[in-house]
């Protein structure tokens, strides 16, 4: 399996990534390891080291499910990672409980990461 930077360019040690990825906990479309967030793709895995994350929080979005006029909004949780220097990464979670656990683990693994939502400067 090939590991590539998920955002920006930085050197990766493929063997270290593989070891951390094998022990990472799956949370939906993202896995949380001791050193990074992993975004599995079909032929490669995106790596976002925890030291590149400034803030992490949960987002709940209504996603329309169904066909035609029978589409119903269903709540979908996402783990949001705001990066140092700008930009965000979004990953689908299996549920709120996993998101809460992920934020607690991120606070434990990387105390520099601020967790929880913060409104943008200037309102709303």
Q: Render pLDDT for 4-42 as a digit per residue (tens, 0 to 9).
A: 998 888 888 999 999 999 999 999 899 999 999 999 999
Residue 62 has pLDDT above 80, yes or no: yes
Q: Residues 43-70: what's their mean pLDDT?
A: 89
> What span, in angstroms and rounded, lies between the C-alpha atoms of 34 and 105?
9
Residue 124 is predicted with a pLDDT of: 56
Residue 8: what pLDDT? Answer: 80
Q: Given this model, what pLDDT does residue 68 score? A: 75
pLDDT of residue 97: 93
Angle at alpha carbon of residue 41, lines to 46 and 117, rounded to 5°: 60
Q: Grade residue 121 by pLDDT with cuts at 50, 70 and 90.
A: confident
The answer as to CATH 2.30.29 being correct for domain 2-115 is: yes
Domain ranges of the chain: 2-115
Instruction: Write the pLDDT tens digit of every residue in 68-116.
Output: 778 777 888 999 999 998 889 999 999 899 999 999 999 999 999 999 8
Phi-psi sector, 111: left (phi>0), alpha (psi -120 to 50), beta: alpha
The pLDDT score that the predictor gives to residue 64 is 80
pLDDT in the model for residue 56: 95
Answer whether 113's CB lies under 8 Å from 103's CB.
no
């Amino acid at each position: 399996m090939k590991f590539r930077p998920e955002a920006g360019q930085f050197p990766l040690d493929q063997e270290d990534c593989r070891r951390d990825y094998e022990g990472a906990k799956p949370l939906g479309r993202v896995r949380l390891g001791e050193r990074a967030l992993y975004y599995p793709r079909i032929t490669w895995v995106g790596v976002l080291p925890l030291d590149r994350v400034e803030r992490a929080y949960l987002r709940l979005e209504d996603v329309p499910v169904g066909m035609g006029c029978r589409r119903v909004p269903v709540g979908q949780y996402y783990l949001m990672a705001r990066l140092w220097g700008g930009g965000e990464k979004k990953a689908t979670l299996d549920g709120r409980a996993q998101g809460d656990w992920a934020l607690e683990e991120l606070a434990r693994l990387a105390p520099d990461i601020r967790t929880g939502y913060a409104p943008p400067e200037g309102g709303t």
